[in-house]
Amino acid sequence: MISINLIGPDDTAKLGRDGSAGFAGGGLIEYNRRMNPSDPRRHSAAAERNGPPILAELRRLLPPRGVMLEIASGTGQHAAHFAAALPDWHWQPTDPEPTSMASIRAWCTGLAHVRPPLRLDVLDWPWPAELPSEVDAIFCANMLHIAPWSCTAALMRGAAGRLAPGGLLITYGPYLEDGVPTSPGNLAFDADLRARDPAWGLRDLAEVAAQAGAAGLVLRERVAMPANNLLLVWGGGST
List the domain boundaries for the chain.
9-236
| Average pLDDT of the residues in 143-148 | 97
pTM of the model: 0.88
Residue with the larger pLDDT of the pair 19 and 193: 193
pLDDT of residue 94: 98
pLDDT averaged over the chain?
Answer: 88
Calculate what percentage of the chain has a pLDDT beyond 90: 83
State whether the Cα torsion 28-122-73-237 is positive or negative. Answer: positive
Q: What are phi and psi of 90, to 5 degrees?
A: -85, 125
Question: What superfamily does domain 9-236 belong to in CATH?
Answer: Vaccinia Virus protein VP39 (3.40.50.150)
Alpha-carbon span 140 to 127, nearest angstrom: 15
| Average pLDDT of the residues in 52-76 | 98
